A and B are shown apart, each in its own frame.
Chain A
């Protein structure tokens, strides 16, 4: 097995173009597990740990450009207020050691349906910056996940960064696990309010072949809030709206029975998490006194 260790993004892209079968490795929290368990034997590993450009985050206008290898720990410590939903999801990842090594770029590269940050990326309209020697492509998160552990990257592309809107609007993430930490999600839900667009983003994880948006739930809630003038003059939500939202999130799932939980349980829990995240987010929105004055 070749071990390629470029020291710049340009070198990394050249290497990936030359050896498109090379598997990128950053924190190694997924790739090393797969190698150890002999689930894959790539002919080459492309080590991104020396590529300094990938481990920076910058403010670009209304967005944060989050380098692919910025660790979860740094997201929690440095971006907790600007990317609240992502920081919440990052806090639930693995253990402190895993959070020190793992990154959103790695989560996207692995594209596991259970990856913790995916629902947040979907709910917040994040965009993946894919680069190659051919140029740069901006891929919306909603077009990024193609199947179980399959994503939209071309063979010669690397993930350079993820762009997330900076927001002061409420975002929430909730996950059910079989224990308190170091646990793969049984299911998860992310919710983001986009008051400036009069829209709600909602997505689920670990309950379908890919992380996915709950489009019908988004449309229902966006319409309810818009039609009743809630964005400018928010009032407590009717229970029926919250319940219906939960049902629609659950209906968006295509869960399976596995070691972590049954399909029926996942549907039930998704509805609970959807109601819970909506309650929390709307409480925040009410408290912040949006629109009113």
Chain B
């Protein structure tokens, strides 16, 4: 175990430190913080998709008992910066998408605020809107980069010639739907001003990022903004960056001179807190007679909003998954009159690996190879894009271990060959991957407290992932003490800053800083510190980052049943095997993996935000019609991992596990559905009618 922190508490399946508080209802979420003199805000949203607000009649709303203020662009306080158009709320009368915030009511109760918001009369000058994403649009453009900072296009070798010369060729288009994050806890903010100091109770994946983003928008020094968020009821990326409600609450609190609470409704979430763009992926592949890929080409078309660009990095996984001398990837965007897209669990990898892994399944069949064997045959020795060695790459081990556990060995590859009581049964596999990264900027302070416990402090987040537990386990090992001797404090900008819980980087980033602080503490105070002794540390640079390609890998297996006469589809088994470095807490890790896989199942079969092009809004904007996989949709679900020792990723050897579980699941299910029925569904979601048309 060279170089890595020895594991003693790390690796134990400890129960969640915050579990009892959560299940007994004493854990305080953003909207629940008691704040004296609280008022309540309800937004007024645009009912057109493009144009201008020409007049707002607030008289009826203002006349209602309990209404404190009705804010419009005409009377709202000015923001210091309108550089981010998503956050520049009530600063102009332009409407850029249906559902955009164009006003707000502050009242003494949420009910009065909501009632009054409905009484605000808005007149518009409407312009024709354009919300249609099509691959043949003339105005598609290449962004400067794709999320977060990858090149938009890449090209290696000579793809056209390689495709022309290939013995086996594929040219297919795969599409993924428009998806909305629906964490159980909706977005919520309480904003209170005390003179020039602002306190925000916000449901967020990063209090530091919220502070640093919002302070300049409001024209306040960051040190005068405090953001508090001990618990998050799920985020999946939608709480990774501040959205408009946060600025609106702060602005309104300033305007009325009282604390303001804003709880975004489930329906409002479909316009205001980001979503995953639909993607259209044209994939071309060429292979020689032995099933070795010679060319991979992925051309992605997706959308962004007209006011703010977000470019999902959908083709990025095709740059590193498989060996091929000739390769090209492109991203093109349509800027539409739609809400602003943003992060959703595994942006890029999640939709991109649906297309790639379905195409690989098709190529394997075309080459007459088992899909696992095909992947093994195309395993690269080095990262195809950079030429760097992988810090560790155990995709093949995951495929082999998964095949053993799943019972893949005697699979008959013939489609539509197994029937059980009217159901067609099939199995499928897909690979999974996610980058193993870190984000700089975290600090940790460790203090020896009066109770002779170590207080470990950093502004990290726990969005249900297990940070409260896992980071404490790391601190215990870093300090060489028992878990019970560590007291962790997170989720508050009064603590040392921490990077956002995003990109599966949390534990690797904060954990590295914990380790650094613990080393500083022991260097300074030795093994027997005195009360009040304190040391800090940060995340050290990793010299290996420039020398190695760092990714986690996995293999997803699915068994699917499709009713032959009606096309009803059920996933009877899902099994994932992952290689994601060291696992800090097997109990919470398993939850991460199976949660991701369930979300992948949901993407495969259920989730789809349906756009009404006439009006520019999502029609199924509630959980009755936007289906998310629930208990009855999940039968057997297993997640396993292999012991992986990676001395290069960081001193803890962890790779991050928050997102990899969703990657590849939908492809495994679509591949299994093809094996069951002989029908290849290339457009998600896989609904019953697609097997019969």
Query: A-side interface residues toward B, CB under 8 Å?
Result: 33, 37-38, 176-184, 186, 259, 261-262, 264-265, 268-269, 272-273, 276
Contact = CB atoms under 8 A, between A and B. Distances in A.
A180 B570 contact: yes
A261 B689 contact: yes
Given A38-B118, A264-B693, A268-B692, 13 more contacts: A33-B624, A37-B267, A37-B622, A178-B606, A178-B688, A179-B606, A180-B633, A184-B624, A259-B610, A261-B687, A261-B688, A268-B566, A272-B566
8 closest A-B pairs by CB: A265-B689, A181-B632, A180-B632, A272-B565, A269-B566, A179-B633, A272-B566, A259-B610
A259 B620 contact: yes
Interface of B: 118, 267, 565-568, 570, 605-606, 610, 619-620, 622, 624-625, 627, 629-630, 632-633, 687-689, 692-693
Contacts of A184: 624-625
B627 A183 contact: yes
- By secondary structure, the A interface counts as loop
B619 A182 contact: no
A186 B688 contact: yes
Given A176-B568, A179-B633, A265 B606 contact: no
Contacts of B625: 184, 259
A176 B567 CA distance: 10
B46 to A, nearest CB: 16
Nearest to A275: B565
B630 A181 contact: yes
Contacts of A182: 630, 632
A176 B568 CA distance: 8
Contact of B687 (A178, A183, A264): A178
A230 B224 CA distance: 86
Contacts of B630: 179, 181-182
A89 to B, nearest CB: 17
Contacts of B624: 33, 184
B690 to A, nearest CB: 9
Contacts of A265: 567, 688-689, 692-693
B118 A179 contact: no
A178 B118 contact: no
A224 B605 CA distance: 41
Contacts of A176: 566, 568, 688
A176 B605 CA distance: 15
Contacts of A177: 568
Nearest to A265: B689
A181 B570 CA distance: 12
B75 to A, nearest CB: 25
A184 B625 CA distance: 9
A181 B627 CA distance: 11
Contact of A179 (B567, B632, B689): B632
23 contacts: A38-B118, A176-B568, A178-B627, A178-B688, A179-B629, A179-B630, A180-B570, A180-B632, A181-B630, A181-B632, A181-B633, A184-B624, A259-B620, A261-B687, A261-B688, A262-B689, A264-B689, A265-B567, A265-B692, A268-B692, A269-B567, A272-B565, A276-B565
A120 B218 CA distance: 60
A178 B627 CA distance: 9
A178 B625 CA distance: 11
Contacts of A262: 689
Contacts of B267: 37
A276 B605 CA distance: 24
Contacts of A38: 118
A33 to B, nearest CB: 7
